Structure 1
Amino acid sequence: MTEDASRLLQWCAAFQVADGHEVLHLAEVARFCQFARGEVVFRQGEPASSLYLVESGLLKVSRLSASGRELTLGLSGPRQLVAGIGAFAEGAVLGAGCLALEDSRVLVLPADEVRRITAHSPALAAAVLSYFARRHADLLAQMEDLLFSDLNARLAAHLLDRKTQVDGYALPTNSELAALLGTVPELVSRKLGEFYRQKFIGLEKRSVKILDESALLGLAGRSR
């Protein structure tokens, strides 16, 4: 178990510069947890006492407004940290909640130990800062897409970002996908149907394969 944790930590960009002793210590104090599809990983407002590093599966991070509306902030897959930045402030609470969209295996790291080790390693602190700066930039880009691009572009970009999954991308429910794309489930269903009829994608039991990458790149405003 410790060996699996050490390997995963070394694969994560935030911890790649940590020396062997630091990685081993974090691996020894961490624990793996299994989350079934639809299971809550953590809730908004809970103490930010842990960092979550995904080994396998897919997690959705979202925030609820006072009126109960959900805003999906992002999806996190293998080798990505979840709820990381809040855990670096002692006494902080989580500003968002997290749900498993697929059966997932996650390494749970005690935040106090990560803070202690990072504080004594300038190289590790710089790597962690760089990692979260990139994640913040990704979040800003996502917010920009929600504000300024149409649904065709957002859905095409979402599918393209997951095209590396050889066996097809297992779609979340229409409600979950709508929350991620900033729309409503009915429009998601309609757009997926349009993409299917135009042979941009193949659909089988909620598993999507890209058939016409050029068409999706055009809709997303991207080049190869």
Structure 2
Amino acid sequence: MKEVSDPRPVRDVLAACGLFQGLDDQQMSLLCDMGRRCRYRAGETVFQQQMPCPGIFVVDRGLVRVFRSGPNGQQHVLHLCGPNQTFAEVAAIGGFPLPASASAAEPTECVLIPTDRLQTELLSNHALCHQLLTGMAFWVRHFVQLVEDIALRDAMSRVTRLLCDLPCDANGRIALPGSKKDIANHLNLTSETFSRVLRRLMEKQVIESEGSRTIRVLDADALGDISDHRE
């Protein structure tokens, strides 16, 4: 990890993050005072599973893979964190070792709110506690939905659900949040199955590919119907 030598103001980064959007100016100023900017090269390790948690990370630019490693070295991608998203918040707030590892999937800059300063502030700052608990509730809901998707949805439904949930521009373009290999792993699919589902959607003229990381939606209604098993 390299700490940026000339830190830029972090308020805009934190204000754009959903975890902190309920904070007032005073609470936000406290976090801005704690935060420092860190930069990672593509492929660089941010932290490793079971090490002490350095703090809450907020992605400013780039992409971070958060994953768990099994005894045999096999990895499962828990989530892919892009701009305005956070990771390691549960361990930072709970004060326990990191349950997963993280690495930069591309050149990445983050704002880090150190665990020690955050924990000290949480002892007396009830408003900050409430906001972070609200954020934790969001992540619980997110992971319940992910487990439900893996257990109850087939490959086609998982992929279309993901595409429906990703932001789309005015021309129907979706930027995939990572490599197809990592997205497939996150959905508990093989890369081959993920690619096969995309080809089937292209054959149905529901989507078209515009490069390795961009999908254009041609028929949003059909995509939603397939995701909800209404095709």
Q: TM-score, normalised by structure 1?
A: 0.87
**Contact 1:40-1:100 within 8 A present in 2 as well:** yes
Q: Which residue of 2 aligns with 1:115?
A: 119
Measure the CA separation in 2 of the matches of 1:169 and 1:120.
41
Map 1:46-195 to 2 at 5 A. Answer: 46-90=51-95, 92-165=96-169, 168-170=174-176, 172-195=178-201
How much has 1:156 moved relative to structure 2? Answer: 0.6
Contact 2:82 2:177 in 1 (8 A): no
Question: What is the root-mean-square deviation of aligned Cα atoms in Å?
Answer: 2.4
In the superposition, the TM-score normalised over structure 2's length comes to 0.84
CA drift at 1:174: 3.2
Shift of 1:171: 5.8
Unaligned runs of 5+ in 1: none
- Greater mean alpha carbon deviation, residues 33-42 or residues 61-70: 33-42
Query: 1:12 offset after TM fit, Å?
Result: 2.7
Mean CA deviation greater in 9-18 or 62-71: 9-18
Do residues 16 (structure 1) and 16 (structure 2) align?
no
Deviates more, 1:137-146 or 1:34-43: 34-43
Paired letter, 1:211: L
> What SS class does the counterpart of residue 209 from structure 1 fall into?
strand
Instruction: Report Cα offsets for 1:86-121 as digits up to 9, x if no partner.
Output: 11233x211011233444321111111112222211
Amino acid of the structure 2 residue aligned with 1:54: V
Count of residue pairs the alignment pairs up: 222
Residue 2 of structure 1 and its aligned partner are, at CA, apart by 6.7
d(CA) in 1 for partners of 2:144, 2:55: 24
Matched-pair identity in %: 25
Unaligned 5+ segments in structure 2 are 1-5
